[in-house]
Amino acid sequence: MITAVIGRTFLNAYNEKNRHDLSPKAFFETEYWELFYNHPKYMQWVTNSPFVQMKSGQKPHLLSIDQRKEKLENLFEKAKNEIPDASFALGYPASESKEYASTSGLVSNVVLPTDEDEVYLSWIGSGLGITVAGGFSILFDNPIITLQTFEGWKVYRKYLNDPTLKKLRGNQINTWNGRWLTYSLNSEEYREDFDFSELTNQKIFKVDTTLAEVSTVSWSQLFFSLSTQFPNKQMMGYVYGFGQTNKTIGFIPFQFKSGSLLKDVYKKLFGGVYLDHRQFERLFGMHIKRACELGSIGLQALRPESLKKYMTDGKNLSFKKEEDTINYQAYKTWLVAMLTRNKEEITDYTPKLAEVILRYRNAGKGMSRVTLVEKELFTSKSKRGFIESLTLMIPDLDGEDLESLKTLKDEVHLMTNEEFGYFLTLLKFDYAYQQKKS
């Protein structure tokens, strides 16, 4: 099963890095169990597993050391003597012989040989799952990512054991993994001397008067952080969800070079760094399930979710609110990237065209030119309608403005319908931006 594959990738990298030769069982007992379960607060809750099956009167936070060791021995006994099922081999099918109220996920109908090692590797792999907003988790079969995730386990355990953080929730290891990777791989944010207050300021933890918990990271933020580590790589990720109903999407390619492209386009268009890179990066990315339906998570999947209404409903940015500027920068960055993704040069000529159209609109009397530009040109559903509106503008223009619109007409004619949709939205945004400036 995929959890065991990821567990083996990690353990091989761990042993090589630390010059150890730990078996899966030895690592599970000395590292995994010690971090995850040998404490009053668990890091992971696995339904029906030996660690959550309590005898009468038992509570996880009240277990003695001997009682916790007894549950560990119960797992050892199952791994050695029983056919693996989801209650003690994570990612395996639920038992058909036991009436557990659970469903199966990550399951293959290919009969694979299993042994005791596979059970412990499945636990290790499950602990490396990365939960993102939308109710799904991701597994990457990559030693660098798994080792970095492991480093975060120790940080989460430190905070769970901190007596000043009694209200911090346990059992959030996979949610924590997403936050930890996003933070620790981002050179602009990460500091070696971080503390709980720093992570709260980074919105990694949500804290109120009764509860503190790890907040779920958006997949786009994780994507951007991983793209800094793997700027030109494609990596296969396994997307799934564990819960009352298990969900399996499957293997999806992640095109991390798309994150690098967006950053390059942003620098070309606006220079420097983001006004607020956390807010900026959160704007990107459709729902994780919709993104996976594209078959590959890359530039198209990174489309800002809120951009859709401007592309389909004819709406435009008004720049009446401060966040409209950040939205504009994110939308423009993505649209220019989509228009230039197959070209070596990043071109941005829509601001000049927007200036020409705005001059034309402002030079007219009455509402005829306003109607032509804003109610006909910018609401065109097709290239033909757009070109017809341009044709009506041409008699009233001369010089460079006339040449600009003639060139625009020729370029629109050569665009695909998809490119035209991106271009028209971008032109509308730059037109609204020029209005704001004037």
Sign (positive or negative) of CA dihedral 370, 376, 379, 383: negative
What is Dmax (Cα atoms) for the chain?
A: 90
Q: Which two tokens stand for residue 158?
A: 């430190």
| Amino acid 101: pLDDT | 47
Average pLDDT, the chain: 90
Per-residue pLDDT reduced to its tens digit, 69-115:
999 999 999 989 888 777 877 877 665 555 544 555 555 555 555 68
**What residue spans of 294-349 are helical by DSSP H?**
308-312, 323-340
DSSP readout, 114-159?
--HHHHHHHHHHHTT-EEETTTEEEEE--HHHHHHHHHHHHHHHHH
Per-residue pLDDT reduced to its tens digit, 134-150:
989 999 999 999 999 99
3-state helix, strand, coil in the chain (%, to 5): 55, 10, 40
Q: What order do you get walking across the sheet with 247-255 strand by strand?
A: 130-132, 136-140, 234-241, 247-255
Residue 348, φ and ψ in degrees, nearest 5? -145, 85
Judge whether 183 and 190 are in contact, CB under 8 Å: yes
Whole-number Å distance between alpha carbons of 250 and 66 = 40
Whole-number Å distance between alpha carbons of 373 and 379 = 9
Whole-number Å distance between alpha carbons of 137 and 340 = 32
Torsion over CA of 23, 160, 46 and 252, rounded to 10 degrees? -80
Per-residue pLDDT reduced to its tens digit, 262-310:
988 988 888 766 556 777 788 899 999 999 999 999 999 999 988 988 8
Residue 315, φ and ψ in degrees, nearest 5? -80, 165
Share of the chain above pLDDT 90, in %: 71
What lies within 8 Å, CB to CB, of 385 at 6+ separation is: 376
**Neighbouring C-beta atoms of residue 88, cutoff 10 Å:** 23
Hey, is 253 helix, strand or coil? strand
Per-residue pLDDT reduced to its tens digit, 220-233:
999 999 999 999 89
pLDDT band at 11 (very low <50, low <70, confident <90, very high): very high
DSSP readout, 212-229?
EEEPPBPHHHHHHHHHHH
